[in-house]
Structure 1
Amino acid sequence: MTTDTLVMPSVTAPPHSHRLRQVLHDSGYALLSLPVGVLFFVVVVTGLAAGIGTVVIWVGLAVLALTLLAARGSATLERAQLPTVLGRPVPRPAYLPGEGGPVRRLLTPLRDPQSWLDALHAVLRLPLAVLAFSVTVTFWAIALGGITYGLWDWALPQEGNEDLFELLGFDGGTSLRIVGYTLIGLLAAAVLPFAVRAVAVLQAQLGRVLLTSRAATQAELGRLSRGRDAAVAAEAVALRRLERDIHDGPQQHLVRLGMDLSRAQRQLDRDPSAARTTLAGAGVLAREALEELRALSRGIAPPVLADRGLAAVLAALAARSPVPVELAVDLPGERLAPATENTAYFVVSEALANVAKHSGADVCRVEVGLVGDVLRVVVEDDGTGGAVLVPGHGLAGLADRLRAVDGVLTVDNPRGGPTRTVAELPWA
Structure 2
Amino acid sequence: MTTSTAELPLPAASAPTAPGHRRWWRQLGVDTAYVLVGFPLSIAAFVLVVTGLAVGIGTLVIWVGLPLLALTLLVARGLAAVERVRLPGVLQRAVPSPVYRAAAPGASLVRRLVEPLRDSQCWLDVVHALLRMAVSIPAFVVVVTWWAIALGGLSSVAWEWSIPYGGDRENSTLPEALNLDDTATNRVLVYTAIGLLAALLLPAVVRASALLEAQFARALLTLRAGTQAQIGRLSEGRDAAVAAEAVALRRLERDIHDGPQQRLVRLSMDLHRAQRMIDSDPDGARSTLAEAATMTRETLEELRALSRGIAPPVLADRGLAAALAAVAARSPVPVELSVELPEGQRLEPAVENSAYFLVSEALANVAKHSDATIARVSVVREDGRLRVEVEDDGQGGAVLAPGHGLAGLADRLFAVDGVLVVDSPRGGPTRLIGELPCA
Structure-1 separation of matches of 2:332 and 2:156: 86
Aligned to 1:238: 248
Cα deviation for residue 153 of structure 1 reads 4.8
Runs of 4+ residues deviating >6 angstroms: none
Query: What is the DSSP-based 3-state SS (H/G/I as helix, E as strand, rest coil) of the residue aligned with 1:91?
Result: coil
Aligned to 1:28: 33
Change (3 A) 1:135 1:365: closer
Of 80, 88, 93, which aligns to 1:83? 88
Aligned to 1:426: 437
Change (3 A) 1:178 1:63: same
Cα deviation for residue 303 of structure 1 reads 1.2
Of 292, 312, 316, which aligns to 2:302? 292
Q: Does 1:255 find its partner at 2:265?
A: yes
Q: Does 1:394 find its partner at 2:409?
A: no
Change (3 A) 1:164 1:368: same
Query: What is the DSSP-based 3-state SS (H/G/I as helix, E as strand, rest coil) of the residue aligned with 2:362?
Result: helix
Q: Does 1:314 find its partner at 2:324?
A: yes
Of 266, 275, 292, which aligns to 1:282? 292
Counterpart mapping for 1:242-391 below 5 A: 242-333=252-343, 334-391=345-402
Aligned to 1:8: none
TM-score by length of 1: 0.86
Query: What is the DSSP-based 3-state SS (H/G/I as helix, E as strand, rest coil) of the residue aligned with 1:39?
Result: helix
Aligned to 1:11: none
CA contact (8 A) 2:388 2:435 kept: yes
Query: Over residues 269-319 of structure 1, what are the superposed CA-to-partner deviations in whole Å (9 max), with x where a residue is unaligned?
Result: 544444434333333332222222111111111112111222222222222
Q: Does 1:115 find its partner at 2:122?
A: yes
With 146-155 and 375-384 compared, the bigger mean Cα shift is at 146-155
With 120-129 and 286-295 compared, the bigger mean Cα shift is at 286-295
CA contact (8 A) 1:354 1:387 kept: no
Give aligned-pair identity as a percent: 63
Change (3 A) 1:34 1:391: closer
Cα deviation for residue 119 of structure 1 reads 0.9
Matched AA of 2:136: A
Of 88, 112, 118, which aligns to 1:105? 112
Structure-1 separation of matches of 2:337 and 2:180: 86
Query: What is the DSSP-based 3-state SS (H/G/I as helix, E as strand, rest coil) of the residue aligned with 1:204?
Result: helix
Cα deviation for residue 221 of structure 1 reads 2.0
Aligned length: 413
Matched AA of 1:393: H
Query: What is the DSSP-based 3-state SS (H/G/I as helix, E as strand, rest coil) of the residue aligned with 2:132?
Result: helix
Change (3 A) 1:153 1:76: farther
Structure-2 separation of matches of 1:169 and 1:288: 99
Aligned to 1:10: none
Cα deviation for residue 362 of structure 1 reads 2.4
Aligned to 2:423: 412
Q: Does 1:141 find its partner at 2:161?
A: no
Q: Does 1:208 find its partner at 2:218?
A: yes
Cα deviation for residue 232 of structure 1 reads 1.0
Matched AA of 2:117: L
Structure-2 separation of matches of 1:255 and 1:202: 74
TM-score by length of 2: 0.84
Query: Over residues 82-141 of structure 1, what are the superposed CA-to-partner deviations in whole Å (9 max), with x where a residue is unaligned?
Result: 222233332222323443334333333223222111111111111212112222332333
The answer to which structure, 1 or 2, has the higher relative contact order (CA under 8 A, 6+ apart) is: 2
Change (3 A) 1:139 1:241: same
Structure-1 separation of matches of 2:418 and 2:231: 17
Matched AA of 1:140: W
Structure-1 separation of matches of 2:357 and 2:178: 84
Cα deviation for residue 182 of structure 1 reads 4.6
Structure-2 separation of matches of 1:166 and 1:391: 77
Cα deviation for residue 246 of structure 1 reads 0.6
With 271-280 and 402-411 compared, the bigger mean Cα shift is at 271-280
Counterpart mapping for 1:34-113 below 5 A: 34-100=39-105, 101=107, 102-113=109-120
Change (3 A) 1:399 1:269: same
Change (3 A) 1:313 1:179: closer
Can you give the 5+ residue segments of structure 1 that lack an aligned partner in the other structure?
Answer: 1-13
Matched AA of 1:44: V
Change (3 A) 1:389 1:85: closer
Matched AA of 1:412: D
CA contact (8 A) 2:24 2:203 kept: no
Structure-2 separation of matches of 1:190 and 1:363: 59
Query: Over residues 202-258 of structure 1, what are the superposed CA-to-partner deviations in whole Å (9 max), with x where a residue is unaligned?
Result: 111111211122222222222222221111111111000000001111111112222
Structure-2 separation of matches of 1:49 and 1:226: 43
